[in-house]
Amino acid sequence: MTPFAQRLFVAIQPTEPVRAALIALHGEIARARWTPPQHLHLTLRFIGGVSDSARQQIEDALSVVRVQPFFLAVEGAGRFPPRGHPSVVWAGIAGHPHLHQLRQQVDDRLLATGVPFELRPFVPHFTLARTSEASAGAVEQWLKQHRDFTGPAWRVDAFHLMVSDLKPEGAEHRVLKTFPLGTPG
């Protein structure tokens, strides 16, 4: 294994009913690359390539994150970037203070391990499709149709350290470690 073989990120995974609602949004944009259902996740923090020893430090740091379980709901749809040709369409998340508290604690713990601070604002979402090869008009039509989308709420009781393996057919994600929310027990 190479010293930087693992490309890591921290995420929340949806329940099956949420995943089904998100999958129902797939289609309708020609030349879009839709996210495979098993890869749908809400990224809390992208970390990047790390060594095995750095991964262990990250796991140790994340194990002390303490936020009470909370409920989230999928709400709305949008695109990145907000201007110019759209490269991503997404489903949004109705904000909850505990989600932002979780993100802050993850950031604080990662910063303590030497992972650089992320400067981009946190916009909680599920990436539905990559649209850089799709027509802007088709993306705008899809957004008009789904802008007010609402999905089911779900209870978030854990977050995950995940690895993204880059392959010719696209990235493959898998859970490395699950961190339960709540007080230690």
Tell me, yes or no, if the pTM score tops 0.85: yes
CA 185/CA 178 separation, integer angstroms = 15
Measured in Å, how far apart are the chain's first and last C-alpha atoms?
A: 35
- Distance CA(43)–CA(12), nearest Å, equals 7
pLDDT value for 1: 41
Q: Which CATH number fits domain 6-180: 3.90.1140.10, 3.40.50.300, 3.40.50.720, 3.40.50.2300?
A: 3.90.1140.10
Provide the pLDDT confidence category of residue 28 given band limits of 50, 70 and 90.
confident
Domain extents in the chain: 6-180
What would the pLDDT profile of 93-142 be if each residue is shown by its tens digit? 997 999 999 999 999 999 999 999 888 899 999 999 999 999 999 999 99
Q: Which residues of 112-135 are buried (b: 16+ CB within 10 A; e: fewer)?
A: ebebeeeeeeeebbbbbbbbeebe
